[in-house]
Amino acid sequence: MIKNKTHPFENILSVSEENLLFELRGINEILWQNFLLNPRRLRGSDFLMRWSQGVWSEHRLIEAAATTKKFFAIPYGPSGTAPTDNVREFELYFEKLETAGLGNVKRPDLLVFKIEEKPEVDTFVNSIGGLKQLPFIPEKDLQNLIKRAMIAVECENSLWVAEKMPDFHSELTPQKRLKGKLGLKKNAVLPTVIIKEEDRKPLRRWEKKNNIPIHIWHVFYDRAYGLAFNDAEKLIRKGLIEPTIQIFQAPGGAITKKIIYKYYYHYAYPLAISTEEPKLAPDFVQDKNGHILPYVKFEGGSLQFTKEALDLLEGIQ
């Protein structure tokens, strides 16, 4: 098994090699590539974009749940409850988690509830000092919150317009490498729902311990897809989805290899469609010496849950 020992802050901002190549394609020179953001080295705008996109996608999912008037979601994992308006404060938050010995504790990113549970959930969250305190509280003390959830959600996102990906409308056909089972060519470019190998065991453990089903919600620029974690595991056992080794680079420059699983959107349910596209706005960070690192951040936009997603949520008892 490929191990990942990067610091939680660097792990959450890590960018896959294919996304780095995608972002830098056609650019011959990056004047800020050796920029240092003290105290942790932050090279290039890709990592700041990764942070901005992650924050944006989770907020859009929470807003989409709220607009249904039937369900609502709250951030539960450390990435969702961390500060969102300052990358330095974001880093310090993970330093605090690391100091408390909780930096590598794996929790789903969101908890989703029926709207009837909102008064009790709000009361509980207020009693512990707000959402930002959740990662610092042992789960044994959060059972009154967890037991009210319908599902837990692991969030992923990709810098792609899903409907414009080359193999978006490709049909699954028998593949030799899959021993005749249905699939697509190995280098197909299409929307997928991604799960990291390193997350599978802790997610299984969390799901079994809390008896709450986990779903993976993967957000693209124009739409989102969902996949039940149990269904994802079945696809692996059936040999329909193969592991992929992917290279990730962390802000400090560390290179790691991770095993991931890419599930064709054909196996997922359409979760949400964009009703308002986000804007890509210029921004920058400045270190104490006055050095500036520009990047592009996501602003606005909205997602609306599909009928399939609403039917699925309404069917959960």
pLDDT band at 24 (very low <50, low <70, confident <90, very high): very low
Single-letter residue type at 28 = N
Predicted pLDDT at 247: 82
pLDDT at 312 over 80: yes
What's the mean per-residue pLDDT of the chain? 83
Residue 200: C-alpha distances to residues 64, 107, 142, 280, 288 (Å): 26, 11, 22, 33, 40
Higher-confidence residue of 7 and 229: namely 229
Predicted pLDDT at 37: 39
Q: Is 244 left (phi over 0), alpha (psi -120 to 50) or beta?
A: beta
Predicted pLDDT at 206: 95
Higher-confidence residue of 4 and 161: namely 161
Predicted pLDDT at 161: 92
Torsion of CA 112, 114, 119, 125, to 10 degrees: -10
Predicted pLDDT at 100: 65
Sign of the Cα pseudo-torsion (194, 198, 199, 203, in order): positive
Higher-confidence residue of 315 and 46: namely 315
Spatial contact of 41 and 252, defined as CB atoms under 8 Å apart: yes
pLDDT at 96 over 90: no
Predicted pLDDT at 287: 63
The burial of 253, by beta-carbon neighbours within 10 Å (0-12 exposed, 13-18 middle, 19 or more buried), is given as: exposed
What pTM does this model have?
0.85
Give the pairing of strands 243-249 and 255-264.
antiparallel
Rounded-to-integer distance, Cα 198 and Cα 49, Å: 23
Tokens found for residue 21: 């190549």
Tokens found for residue 115: 């709207």
The predicted model gives 74-78 an average pLDDT of 88
Predicted pLDDT at 16: 66
Among the ranges given (99-103, 120-124, 202-206, 247-251), the one the predictor scored with the smallest mean pLDDT? 99-103
Predicted pLDDT at 284: 78
User: In terms of Cα–Cα distance, which of 80, 208, 78, 207 is closest to 152?
Assistant: 207
Higher-confidence residue of 192 and 26: namely 192
The predicted model gives 20-40 an average pLDDT of 39
pLDDT band at 99 (very low <50, low <70, confident <90, very high): confident
Spatial contact of 76 and 119, defined as CB atoms under 8 Å apart: no
Predicted pLDDT at 200: 95
pLDDT band at 90 (very low <50, low <70, confident <90, very high): confident
Predicted pLDDT at 33: 39
Across 66-75, 157-166, 291-300, the highest mean pLDDT is recorded for 66-75
Tokens found for residue 86: 């300052």
- Cα end-to-end distance, the chain, whole Å: 37
pLDDT band at 92 (very low <50, low <70, confident <90, very high): confident
Q: Is 214 helix (H, G, I), strand (E, B) or coil?
A: strand
The predicted model gives 7-12 an average pLDDT of 64
pLDDT at 280 over 60: yes
Distance of CA 74 to the CA centre of its chain: 14
Tokens found for residue 255: 């290179």
Residue with tokens 């790691």: 256
pLDDT band at 15 (very low <50, low <70, confident <90, very high): low
Q: Is 99 helix (H, G, I), strand (E, B) or coil?
A: helix
pLDDT at 85 over 80: no
Single-letter residue type at 251 = P
Work out the number of other CB atoms within 10 angstroms of the CB of residue 211: 8
Query: What angle do the packed helices 87-99 and 45-67 form, to 10 degrees?
Result: 80
Beta strand residue intervals within 167-291, DSSP E: 173-174, 182-183, 192-196, 214-219, 223-228, 243-249, 255-264, 269-276, 279-286
pLDDT at 298 over 90: no
